[in-house]
Chains A and B, each alone.
Chain A
Amino acid sequence: MTARRLTRPTWLDRVSDFSTQAGRGWRTVAAKELADHVLSRRFLVLLAILGLAALATVYFSSQLIRDAATQASGSPALFLRLFTVTGDQFPFPFFGLVSFVLPLVGIAFGFDAINGERSLGTLPRLLAQPIHRDDVINGKFAAGLLVIGLILASVTALVAAFGLLRLGITPGAGDVARMIAWVVLSIVYVGLWLAFAMLCSVAILRAATAALVAFGVWLALSLFFNLVASLLAGALAPAAGTAPDALVANARLEQQLTELSPITLYQEATVALLNPSVRTVGVVLPQQADRAIPSTLSIDQSLLVVWPQAVALVALTVLCFAVAYVIFMRQEVRA
């Protein structure tokens, strides 16, 4: 008992421990992971895909906007249309493409984070160094997010610059702020998928299985979730006949259910951020829209609209992280 009390770390030990080590371990891991990522094939593939997508979308959408510019002059936030407009030749807007690609990127950078180290046999060696166990997860997450964030930000800047050249329209301060907010939101969204992929990599010992599970979840959410939500809504609040109350209840429930999916959350938030004329992402009744003056929201009002979605995305990320922590801490070092 006395021996135990003697060796218990004092607050001074803890403080010195914190200043010398606690801040450093994850940074060392992150620096190494960053170097690995930048030299890796998946980084180059990601860069190539996103770059090509950006160029294609911005080329066709700027074409479209130029053609329609005469009618569209004076329409709000014309510049942001670069990101949202779709043409006949290339039926995806930039943001649509990004929202499709981001989860895949997050999974690609995270699915083998921990189990990869395990199968290389480097995990016991790594954990025998004077770092905390969570430093490994934190460092890897930080490095992955930083790399993806940098690519995303630079590709978005590239699109904006290209559009600037072709359209000759300078974006206003509000447009720039919306763009930045959208990039930040996208980084949060990709962080969620990265955290989820890392959770899989902690919980599932084989990297290939972890990747399959993560992709499977993404596929299920993006393909079937809306279907399931509408079926559930139909069962729980049937839209019988044409009774307006029932219809509204049904629509509300369905929307609430779909908002359980991060994909829906991100898409709603994206639409509200990039299109200032969107005033709500919820169900709008005809009497509410009746005689409403078509106007645009300022950036802070748009941020208020997307706030719940953003908070939900962050919360889901934190949840993935927490579960991954708990599992990793309890795991034996030997597989």
Chain B
Amino acid sequence: MATSALDRAAPGSRPARTRSRAKEPIITARGLTKMYGTFTAVDRLNLDVYPGEIFGLLGPNGAGKTTTILMMLGLSEPTSGEVRVAGLDPTRRPLDVKRRVGYLPDDAGFYPTLTGRQNLRYTARLNSLARGTAEDRISTVLAQVGLADRADDRVETYSRGMRQRLGIADALVKDPDILILDEPTVAIDPIGVAEMLDLMRRLVQGRGIALLLASHLLDQVQSVCDRVGIFSAGRLINVGSVDELARRYGGDRSEILVGVEAAPRTDAAAIGARLASQPGVVAVEPRPMSGDGDLNWALTLDPKASESETRAAVLRAILADGLLLTRLTRTSPSLDQIYRTAVEGHLATKGRVEVRSTEPGTGTQTSGGRRPRSVGRRASRRGPSARKGERR
């Protein structure tokens, strides 16, 4: 039952209400399914991606993100369902689709003995760009990803992060309408990631391209994506903006963050106990934050209590103790938490369905059957405990 509820909550049924989009979607998938033998890698996927937006595909390894992307590029044929990219069917007109889509594969490689510029030149030629425009574009994109000064060194001398930047440049060389990046920031350092995300933002805003970003690095995705879709075991279990998902998955959970300036004689344990004694507070958890020397706690609140009253009580208590308050904020669940709740919930319901279907007769053989990934088994193992904790 829960599964079908999730189904209905999923993709296509959620039209673009969040922002005014008069535009047609540039990528659509309807009932897209890919089977490898009896294993379903992508299961009845419905998805719309609009021009001018950054869409994040989130999911654990093996959830079907890359398979979905390959089907969008016509590099893998769907078992059933259909996908349209820029109005074209990738299985029938792969060249036209690939001319308009810039793709950075997961763990993309380059020819080590060629320079970065030569590698990009090859891509430009394969896209039959005229020589002059190609050289201009190559210089532009190399500058954009911050590789201008290393462009004429051989790729074998590049670090992994530099290769990844080169990969992004490579996807941009053909001046695409659609950019698909599979784990684009895995090996890039934090400052570089900020630069890359900024670059992606500018590209999307400036040129109105659609950016599809597959990643498992959630905090990065959170900061840059307009909408995200959460993948689990081949199914897209939820789509929406980060805020929408937060409301959907963390609706009954509220948390406030309290910070106090650490003085030489402050007794952290005592303050923690005092916070715990405030009305409406269910649990107190010290939460060290990087960057400041303050003492921070996360307070979990009773869903039934009024949040503002609790905050007022906490404020009074801190002031009464003569402490210096540095932080008092309400936090919404991070994408990380949303994601875990969503995926675990999905796997739990999935596991339960499987266990139920195998109960009469042959025991658990079906769920263990020919399933290369451990998802199914893990789900059914997790099933009972998750069932207990699950809210209705």
Contact = CB atoms under 8 A, between A and B. Distances in A.
Given A28-B128, A121-B105, A125-B109, 20 more contacts: A8-B92, A17-B96, A21-B95, A28-B122, A28-B125, A31-B125, A32-B125, A39-B113, A121-B107, A121-B110, A122-B109, A124-B103, A125-B123, A128-B98, A128-B105, A129-B174, A130-B99, A130-B126, A131-B95, A132-B95
Nearest to A132: B95
A333 B75 contact: yes
Contacts of A24: 128
A122 B105 CA distance: 9
A136 to B, nearest CB: 10
B73 interface: yes
A20 interface: yes
A17 B108 contact: no
A126 interface: yes
A32 B84 CA distance: 32
Given A21-B128, A24-B128, A122-B111, A32 B95 contact: no
A130 B66 contact: no
Interface string A1-41: 00110011100010001001100110011011000100100
Given A7-B87, A20-B128, A334-B66, A125 B105 contact: yes
A332 B76 contact: yes
B112 interface: yes
B88 interface: yes
- Which 9 pairs between the two chains have the least Cβ-Cβ distance? A121-B109, A124-B105, A129-B126, A128-B103, A120-B109, A130-B99, A130-B98, A130-B95, A122-B109
Contacts of A208: none
B75 A129 contact: no
21 contacts: A17-B95, A21-B95, A24-B128, A39-B113, A120-B109, A121-B109, A125-B104, A125-B105, A125-B109, A126-B126, A127-B75, A128-B101, A129-B98, A129-B123, A130-B94, A130-B95, A130-B127, A130-B128, A131-B126, A132-B94, A132-B95
Contacts of B104: 125
B93 interface: yes
Interface in A108-136: 120-122, 124-132
Contact of B122 (A21, A32, A120, A124): A32
Interface residues of A, number: 32
Contacts of A125: 103-105, 108-110, 123, 167, 170
A27 to B, nearest CB: 9
A133 to B, nearest CB: 9
Contacts of B307: none
Nearest to B102: A128
Nearest to B123: A129
Nearest to A28: B125
Interface in A34-64: 36, 39
Contact of B89 (A7, A20, A28): A7
A7 B170 CA distance: 29
**Most chain B C-beta atoms within 10 Å of own C-beta, residue among A4, A28, A36, A128:** A128
Q: What class of interface size applies to chain B in its complex with A? A: 35 or more
Given A121-B107, A122-B109, A124-B108, A7 B76 contact: no
Nearest to B97: A130
Contacts of B107: 121
Contacts of B75: 124, 127-128, 333
A7 B98 CA distance: 16
Contacts of A332: 76
B95 A9 contact: no
A129 B89 contact: no
Contacts of B98: 128-130
B203 interface: no
Interface in B260-292: none
Interface of A is mostly: helix
**Most chain B C-beta atoms within 10 Å of own C-beta, residue among A20, A21, A39, A130:** A130
A149 to B, nearest CB: 24
Nearest to A31: B125
A121 B105 CA distance: 9
B26 interface: no
A132 B170 CA distance: 19
B70 interface: yes
Contacts of B127: 129-130
Interface string B167-192: 10010001000000000000000000
Contacts of A17: 95-96
Nearest to B128: A24
A303 to B, nearest CB: 40
Contacts of B112: 120
B186 to A, nearest CB: 13
Nearest to B173: A129
Interface string B107-142: 111111100000000110111100000000000000
Interface string A235-265: 0000000000000000000000000000000
Contacts of B73: 128
A126 B125 CA distance: 11
Contacts of A25: 126
B339 to A, nearest CB: 24
A3 B83 CA distance: 12
A333 B122 CA distance: 20
B121 to A, nearest CB: 9
Contacts of A128: 73, 75, 98, 101, 103, 105
B126 A121 contact: no
A120 B167 CA distance: 13
A123 to B, nearest CB: 8
A113 to B, nearest CB: 13
Contact of B88 (A7, A28, A130): A7
Given A120-B112, A121-B108, A122-B110, A333 B70 contact: yes
A25 B66 CA distance: 25
A291 B126 CA distance: 65
Contact of B76 (A3, A32, A333): A333
Nearest to B104: A125
Interface in A83-126: 120-122, 124-126
Contacts of A31: 125
Contacts of B66: 334
